[in-house]
């Protein structure tokens, strides 16, 4: 029976080499039919840490941004921050720093809008068991055209900022060692200033919608994959929400401080990664707590839970309401990621509005120089959580070693646990239903649309669920193919 299971697993993880859109979930039942193990398998191998070795360090921001088509700016900037250290630049020019911040706010705004409107809202608006052919962005466009259009335009605005600064909406060129390559033209700033006036109220409405959808079924919101956990994020020296820079803060699930103002460059004293033989994605953990107990969550929920305040007024007001309505003292419901995400989206819109009034965006004082070293660590808050880039270079200026801990990796354990909780709570009998399959997707999707299996746009999310019994091996499987059709065994 074991051989049979192994064989089927091997078939299930046939290399599916597309960058995004593939995952596999296996569930293991005990004798009482309870789900005792849930595994989210990431079946793609990227190998970036290996194949960037030998490349000159100045190529890194351009090389590693190809990790992702949704949040390439985060990788671009994390690598740039690491390279700033390699070229000995501790402090960027004010203009370069503001441009990088603006670029990053644009990135987070467009990514959050993409996730909420394109990927998550179909579930939240239509229900998890609604007709699958309509449970997508096209369905939202048909049923809620104004809402969907606003979502598309919020994302478009974020991409316009990225394009203005880096030359392209995806995979542009902006950050260089010790600074930025080009200032913004005043005419471009003026155009963006006009657009942000429209975006701000839309971001406010989107936040209100996320809140309403989350609170529409309070029992479900509080209970769905609720997962008391530690939270890790960057915060500013004064405890403010911080996306570009700052120090590490970890809170325990009861809200108490685990660690605060920890130097992110010493991350390897705090975090280690465990490799497991059933997934290409590693499992980061806090070294002091060990692999089993040391897991934590990152991303919008972690950031909103962790910070003392958000430094823009409307988002701060929303944070206080969020914690007052559902915090005890922290919010642990996995669906709360959506709400927290839209609080951050509003914060980004407010921050962009402020930055666009700063004339230094047009300054040509863009690059600093320093004393070169052979190591750099860049840490940034990507849309989906804390992102670590660590490089060492040799005496030829080429990359010797690289360590990347991407946001999704930090949520690996939590996603697996969320899948287990959902399956345990919702699995009735031993037959997997399409509703269960979608609930599993909903739990995964709340964390990270960049995850290979979390891209369900227009119903295309190839996902396979296997149900194993401890005695009988594989009981049942259900697979959703490229066209969104269900195939059962």
125 phi/psi in degrees, rounded to 5 = -80, -40
Q: Which range binds another protein by CB under 8 A, 58-66, 239-247, 408-416, 429-437?
A: 58-66
| 55: contact with another protein by CB under 8 A | yes
Q: Between 167 and 237, whose beta carbon lies closer to another protein?
A: 167
Smallest gap from residue 270 Cβ to another protein (A)? 30
| 167: contact with another protein by CB under 8 A | yes
Among 33, 54, 186, 237, binds another protein (CB under 8 A): 54
| 19: contact with another protein by CB under 8 A | no
| 168: contact with another protein by CB under 8 A | yes
425 phi/psi in degrees, rounded to 5 = -80, -30
Smallest gap from residue 389 Cβ to another protein (A)? 15
Residues in the chain: 489
Please tell me whether residue 27 adopts helix, strand or coil conformation.
Answer: strand
| 166: contact with another protein by CB under 8 A | yes
| 365: contact with another protein by CB under 8 A | no
Q: Between 79 and 210, whose beta carbon lies closer to another protein?
A: 79
Q: Can you tell me which residue has the tokens 């921001």?
A: 61
Distance CA 177, CA 244 (A): 16
Smallest gap from residue 47 Cβ to another protein (A)? 14
Q: Between 51 and 278, whose beta carbon lies closer to another protein?
A: 51
Report the site for another protein in 381-410 (rule: CB under 8 A): 394-398
Report the site for another protein in 177-206 (rule: CB under 8 A): 177, 181-182
Distance set, CA 179 to CA 64, 182, 298, 359, 405 (Å): 18, 9, 28, 17, 23
Smallest gap from residue 398 Cβ to another protein (A)? 6
Among 8, 16, 141, 173, binds another protein (CB under 8 A): 173
Helix H or strand E encompassing 464: strand 463-469
Name the DSSP class of 447: T
- Count of alpha carbons within 13 Å of 251, Cβ hemisphere only? 23
Among 174, 236, 379, 442, binds another protein (CB under 8 A): 174
Report the site for another protein in 91-150 (rule: CB under 8 A): none
Smallest gap from residue 437 Cβ to another protein (A)? 36
CA dihedral 473, 477, 482, 486 (to 10 degrees): 170
Bridge-partner residues for 381, per DSSP? 386
Helix H or strand E encompassing 418: helix 412-426
Q: Which range binds another protein by CB under 8 A, 61-69, 319-327, 329-337, 428-436?
A: 61-69
Report the site for another protein in 32-51 (rule: CB under 8 A): none
| 56: contact with another protein by CB under 8 A | yes
Strands 247-251, 257-262: pairing kind: antiparallel
Among 49, 59, 358, 400, binds another protein (CB under 8 A): 59
Q: Can you tell me which residue has the tokens 């052919």?
A: 133
Distance CA 121, CA 110 (A): 15
Q: Which range binds another protein by CB under 8 A, 62-70, 130-138, 242-250, 428-436?
A: 62-70
287 phi/psi in degrees, rounded to 5 = -55, -40
212 and 339 Cβ atoms separated by less than 8 Å: no
Q: Between 51 and 486, whose beta carbon lies closer to another protein?
A: 51
Helix axes 94-113, 336-355, angle to 10 degrees: 140
Q: Between 176 and 199, whose beta carbon lies closer to another protein?
A: 176
| 4: contact with another protein by CB under 8 A | no
Q: Between 169 and 314, whose beta carbon lies closer to another protein?
A: 169
Smallest gap from residue 443 Cβ to another protein (A)? 34
Among 29, 42, 82, 176, binds another protein (CB under 8 A): 176
The answer for residues whose C-beta is within 8 angstroms of residue 42's C-beta and 6 or more apart is 23, 279, 280, 281, 451, 452, 453
CA angle, residues 263, 75, 441, in degrees to nearest 5: 100
Q: Can you tell me which residue has the tokens 């120090």?
A: 247
Q: Which range binds another protein by CB under 8 A, 121-129, 171-179, 456-464, 477-485?
A: 171-179
Judge if the upstream peptide bond of residue 155 is cis by omega within 30 degrees of 0.
no
| 71: contact with another protein by CB under 8 A | no
Q: How many residues bind another protein (CB under 8 A)?
A: 24
Radius of gyration of the chain (CA): 22
Distance CA 309, CA 323 (A): 11
Q: Between 100 and 338, whose beta carbon lies closer to another protein?
A: 100
> Positive or negative, the Cα torsion across 221, 222, 225, 230?
positive
Smallest gap from residue 397 Cβ to another protein (A)? 4
Bridge-partner residues for 476, per DSSP? 467
| 479: contact with another protein by CB under 8 A | no
Q: Between 36 and 173, whose beta carbon lies closer to another protein?
A: 173
25 and 39 Cβ atoms separated by less than 8 Å: yes
391 and 405 Cβ atoms separated by less than 8 Å: no
Among 9, 46, 66, 156, binds another protein (CB under 8 A): 66
* Site residues (vs another protein, CB under 8 A): 54-56, 58-59, 62-63, 66, 166-168, 171-174, 176-177, 181-182, 394-398
């Amino acid at each position: 029976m074991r051989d049979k299971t192994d064989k089927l697993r091997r078939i299930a993880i046939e290399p599916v080499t597309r960058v995004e859109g593939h995952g596999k979930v296996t569930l293991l039942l005990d004798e009482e039919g309870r789900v005792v193990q849930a595994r989210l398998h990431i079946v793609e191998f990227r190998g970036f840490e290996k194949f960037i070795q030998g490349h000159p360090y100045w190529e890194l921001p351009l090389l590693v941004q190809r990790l992702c088509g949704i949040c390439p700016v985060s990788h671009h900037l994390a690598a740039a921050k690491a390279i700033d250290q390699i070229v000995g630049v501790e402090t960027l020019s004010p203009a370069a720093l503001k441009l990088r911040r603006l670029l990053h706010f644009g990135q987070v705004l467009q990514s959050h809008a993409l996730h909420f409107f394109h990927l998550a809202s179909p579930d939240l608006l239509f229900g998890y068991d609604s007709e699958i052919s309509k449970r997508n962005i096209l369905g939202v466009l048909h049923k809620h055209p104004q809402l969907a259009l606003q979502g598309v335009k919020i994302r478009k605005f974020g991409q316009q900022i990225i394009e203005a600064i880096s030359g392209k909406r995806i995979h542009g060129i902006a950050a260089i060692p010790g600074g930025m390559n080009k200032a913004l033209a005043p005419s471009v700033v003026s155009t963006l200033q006009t657009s942000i006036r429209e975006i701000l109220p839309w971001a406010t409405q989107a936040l209100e919608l996320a809140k309403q959808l989350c609170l529409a079924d309070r029992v479900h919101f509080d209970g769905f994959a609720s997962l008391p956990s530690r939270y890790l994020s960057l915060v500013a020296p004064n405890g403010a929400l911080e996306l570009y820079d700052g120090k590490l803060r970890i809170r325990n699930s009861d809200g108490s401080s685990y660690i605060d103002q920890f130097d992110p460059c010493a991350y390897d004293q705090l975090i280690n990664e465990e490799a497991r033989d059933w997934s290409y994605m590693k499992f980061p953990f806090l070294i002091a707590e060990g692999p089993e107990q040391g897991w934590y969550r990152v991303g919008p929920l972690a950031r909103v839970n962790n910070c003392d305040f958000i430094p823009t007024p409307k988002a701060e007001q929303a944070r206080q309401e969020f914690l007052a309505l559902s915090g005890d003292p922290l919010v642990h419901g996995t669906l709360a990621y959506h709400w927290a995400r839209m609080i951050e989206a509003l914060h980004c819109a407010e921050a962009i509005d402020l930055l666009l009034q700063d004339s230094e965006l047009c300054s040509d004082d863009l690059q600093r120089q320093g004393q070169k070293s052979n190591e750099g660590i860049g840490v940034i808050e990507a849309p989906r959580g804390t992102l670590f880039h660590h490089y060492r270079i040799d005496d030829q200026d080429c990359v010797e070693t690289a360590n990347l801990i991407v946001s999704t990796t930090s949520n690996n354990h939590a996603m697996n646990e969320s899948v287990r909780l959902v399956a345990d709570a919702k699995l009735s009998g031993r037959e997997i239903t399409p509703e269960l399959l979608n609930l599993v997707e909903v739990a995964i999707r709340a964390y990270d649309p960049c995850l290979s299996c979390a891209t369900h746009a227009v119903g295309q999310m190839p996902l396979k669920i296997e149900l194993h019994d401890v005695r009988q091996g594989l009981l049942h499987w259900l697979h959703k193919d490229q066209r969104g059709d269900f195939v059962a065994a």
